[in-house]
Amino acid sequence: MSKESRRGRWKQIVLLVVILSLLFCTCSSLAGNAGLLGWSLWNRWELTRARERIGVLESEVRRLHQVLLDNDIEIPLAPADRQLMDTIERQVAVLRGLEPLQPVERALMTPDQLRERIRQDFEENFSFQDARDYTLTLAAFDFVDPELDLYDLWLRLYTEQIAGFYDTETKQIYVIADLGLMGQLERLTYAHEYTHALQDQHFDLEALWLRDDAEEVYDSEYLAAVQALVEGDAQLLERQFMNTHYSPEEIVMLMREAMAINTTVLDQAPEIVRDALLFPYQFGLTFVQSLYEQGGWAAVDAAYADPPRSTEHILHPDRYRAGDEPQIVSLPPLTDTLGTGWRHVDGDIMGEFLIGRYLAQYIPEEDAETAAEGWGGDRYTVHYHEEDETLVLGWRIVWDTPADVEEFVDAYVSYAEARFAHSSGEHDGAQICWQGARDAACLAWGVIESTITLAPSQPVARLVLDALVAGTRGMEGAD
């Protein structure tokens, strides 16, 4: 018999064996079908009972939590959670290259506890008038409706979005867990927050920016930049932690838990609120990643001794490394110019990031970011007339080069024409004004600076513009 014939016989035998096996399995399946059906029904019944028992247990845990809360008793950590936190701390210390200098107190907090904690913090540190004034400032830059209840929005937003936090005063870490149990998301959150604890022990976060009088001592640009450094540091560690200590199955569980997070308040918040909230995490990560790629964690550590001072530094790490410091810009007071009835609401710095977001409201985002790139420094002032419910904005920006001025002027003209739905009105040399139905704006520019005013009418806008330009020249002459 040839090899081909023998190979054909073996194929027939193998095929026959396979067919017989399939027939046997089919007969066995038919014979046991009733048993399998019963087994399936039994399993389904047991699963339903198990789910009911879990639901009852969860309700009981919530009830016991509420009893503890009502009696001001802290929810105790489960032994498994304590052990897990100990493990996370060791893993984070190794990854970050920072040895703990002292133990850190830690606790789990329910969403209800968090809501109450934030409400108390708001009452102590942030009044309704503070929120109202900040709303008016955002409205002066077209970001929000002046009637927005920012106090309520922030209260709901922080309650929804905070997954955990490190308290620099009590030196304690809180992780938000609904049932007081840590899942994969809480595990990653604890790694993030423990990084903040190590930062505090080594670099003193309270002295750096988290002090009670921070807004009085520092401008908003510095605070935004330092927060981006701190959060970007923790974000990079968080990524390394996940890549090192999470299995593929745990990452899937983490993604499921993350997707289940309620983001309704965040999704419905004004775009500028979302942008400001996410800036330190999104752009802070790219900033710290740039430092890390240059010199590892040692380069990140060095940034705490010489922190970034502007959002320009965060957006352009090369300018931070080059020592491109923001310029100090001054404005003359507008009290005499505006007269009685006007209240000073705010005075601060916008910075490159917010200038880009401001322009992007009416021009393409890429053009807005390009126009904001030449930022050297700025200062604004906002006044509000309570009786008339009108705003006045005075804003001076210093640019790096004359070309940057031209670029911004072109961008702002496009912005204003879109905002007022028509081309400019009177054009007087290096000054342009626009008049709308409810307010007016004027723009003036020089070799390396631009000045913008917004007011209820064009005469008032021009009056404020002339006062700012003349006052600025007077201050420069005095210097």
CB atoms within 10 A of CB 381: 22
Q: Which amino acid is at 314?
A: I
Q: What local confidence, expressed as pLDDT, does residue 138 receive? A: 98
Output DSSP code: residue 397: E
Question: Given this model, what pLDDT does residue 311 score?
Answer: 98
Helix (H) or strand (E) holding 70: helix 33-70
pLDDT of 179: 57
| DSSP H or E run through 108 | strand 105-109
Give, for all 479 residues of the chain, the pLDDT tens digit. Answer: 433 333 333 223 232 222 223 333 333 343 444 444 444 545 555 555 555 554 444 454 555 555 555 555 666 677 888 899 999 999 999 999 999 999 999 887 777 788 888 888 888 888 899 999 999 999 999 999 999 999 999 989 888 878 888 998 899 998 887 656 688 998 999 999 999 999 999 999 988 876 666 666 788 999 999 999 999 999 999 999 999 999 999 999 999 999 988 899 999 999 999 999 999 999 999 999 999 999 999 999 999 999 999 999 999 999 999 999 999 999 999 999 999 999 999 999 999 999 999 999 999 999 999 999 999 999 999 999 999 999 999 999 999 999 999 999 999 999 999 999 877 666 667 899 999 999 999 999 999 999 999 999 999 999 999 999 987 765 554 54
What are the tokens at 68?
């503890």
Residue 445: the pLDDT is: 96
pLDDT score for 17: 28
Residue 476: the pLDDT is 54
Measure CA 142 to chain center. 21
Q: How far apart are the first and last CA of the chain?
A: 111
* Cβ-proximal residues to 337 (8 Å cutoff; 6+ apart), any chain: 463, 464, 467
Q: What gap in Å lies between CA 392 and CA 420, rounded to an integer?
A: 17
For residue 310, how many other CB atoms are within 10 A of its CB?
A: 25
CA 351-353-359 angle, to 5 degrees, is 100
Handedness of CA 316, 319, 325, 329 (dihedral sign): negative
Residue matched to tokens 């190590």 = 198
For position 344, what pLDDT does the model report? 97
